[in-house]
Structure 1
């Protein structure tokens, strides 16, 4: 994979840059990205490929708001989630969050879910699941004793991962288990070989917006 990066300057007080990705088969995708202010991070991604491309670009930033993720409070506007198998792939369609450890429609401590007896939590050693957003904004709110993060997005789903398998080794040697949580705004992974939802047609524009606001 070849990658090139060009920064054009600033627009509306935000950095403006273009990232070009080209694989070994000559498929080219251009990604337009906006930067940040002190109180807000706006990820505004636009991409166009010159060939039929499987494309589901996502950001994996981890947040802790000055505390461990297990001690943070989470509210998530999702009525359904996708149970997964041992390899973290969906294997049984959508299930309602009601009555499960995955019900964050009302604010609750993340650690309460991580220590539950839910079979899916035990399978993945924590939260490592796609949540189907219900369209209410903000999509999610994460809060500590001193700080709050709200996330808005046009993505249909958020994949949440609480660092279940991190142990201060490898590429993530600066983070341990449950030290942070990520909200991956994307199309949810599909069962089987159906990639229709993440197939970008030639010269079709991909657009993903993720808005993080800090208080």
Structure 2
């Protein structure tokens, strides 16, 4: 058996010892949650990263369906976003700057001239305080000081990961601030329902509950418009294979080398509602996504290469199109786009967000 692994509920999971390391004043660890009904998830308090997610197929065989690494050292040196909690602001902010109540704020530039996923050391690169309150629940908290990565306000953040007997993984986010700020939290897990490192995701059938998306320019910055998905390769209102139209000659796909787009979900306000469904026909695994958020970012693993740092658990290479992401979110660059839903959090308010990943099988 791989020395990194041990058996739990008939599944092989990563040994916590591979993640137990103390950095200056902070300690990393790995936490294992199980619902006793077929779902096991492992999470490290380094960036709140989902390290492994074991889900049975239609024949009750387990597979780990998220990309990641076997130990904490590789996470520190590897792809920074595998399974991570992204913040203070997920996705892009144009020009790495915004104005709020008459004050101009400059953020870290880590994507050319722009700001991406909270900056150079966003929430994905911070060690969170963790408390496991039971076999199926983990709470993590972080204090983000005023000025971190250029953001205003002291921000108190909490995320809770919880499993249910219905094979749901529920992510609940909360945050408060002492100064007006912007916030957009998401989880950046890379999914492959056939199993991480097993195949590409091009044959996975995807449904997205959205009539419109936010088009981007060649630098992946939203134009501020909303376009109908009808008649475009971005139309997933009925199930379609991710790879069926990914090579079409369409400017939005050419610039991204695949899918990397935010959808405006069909919903009323901040209701918890259906966002997307992915079905992998060989394994029979189904993942449904429900969220209170207005947007969903589809990413098709366009920049995975199968070479370091995209070689993961068990030495498996993660090739181009080796995973997809479904990131529930506020819209990218919303603070600079007056027509988008506001991402502003003020003192006295509470940021709340819920996303559910529900797993079943078919066939």
TM score, norm. by length of structure 1? 0.89
CA shift for structure 1 position 19: 2.3
Say which SS state the counterpart of residue 64 (structure 1) adopts.
Answer: coil
Which of 133, 147, 160 matches 1:34?
Answer: 160
Count of matched residue pairs: 215
CA shift for structure 1 position 123: 1.9
Determine if the alignment matches structure 1 residue 142 to structure 2 residue 274.
no
Distance 1:169 1:47, change over 3 A: farther
Say which SS state the counterpart of residue 243 (structure 2) adopts.
Answer: helix
Equivalent residues in 2 for 1:91-170, closer than 5 Å: 91=223, 93-135=225-267, 137-145=273-281, 146-169=284-307
Q: Give unmatched runs, 5+ long, in structure 2.
A: 1-120, 313-317
Partner of 2:137 in structure 1? Answer: 14
**In 2, are the aligned partners of 1:130 and 1:159 still within 8 Å (CA)?**
yes
Distance 1:9 1:124, change over 3 A: closer
Distance 1:42 1:192, change over 3 A: closer
Say which SS state the counterpart of residue 132 (structure 2) adopts.
Answer: strand
Partner of 2:178 in structure 1? Answer: 50
Structure 1 range deviating more: 168-177 or 158-167? 168-177
CA shift for structure 1 position 125: 0.6
Structure 1 range deviating more: 190-199 or 116-125? 190-199
**In 2, are the aligned partners of 1:82 and 1:93 still within 8 Å (CA)?**
yes
**In 1, are the aligned partners of 2:137 and 2:163 still within 8 Å (CA)?**
yes
Ranked by relative contact order (alpha carbons within 8 Å, sequence separation 6 or more), the top structure is 1
Cα distance per residue 1:125-176 (max 9 Å; x no partner): 1001110000284210001022000000000010111111221356544432
Say which SS state the counterpart of residue 187 (structure 2) adopts.
Answer: coil
Determine if the alignment matches structure 1 residue 64 to structure 2 residue 209.
no
**In 1, are the aligned partners of 2:200 and 2:320 still within 8 Å (CA)?**
no
Structure 1 range deviating more: 87-96 or 142-151? 87-96
Partner of 1:83 in structure 2? Answer: 215
Say which SS state the counterpart of residue 138 (structure 2) adopts.
Answer: strand
Cα distance per residue 1:37-92 (max 9 Å; x no partner): 38221110001111111211121111110142212100110000111111111115
CA RMSD of aligned residues (A): 2.5
**What is the distance in 2 between the residues matched to 1:198 and 1:191?**
6
Distance 1:181 1:74, change over 3 A: same
**What is the distance in 2 between the residues matched to 1:213 and 1:178?**
22
**In 1, are the aligned partners of 2:145 and 2:154 still within 8 Å (CA)?**
yes
Structure 1's consecutive aligned runs of 4 or more residues displaced over 6 angstroms after TM superposition are none
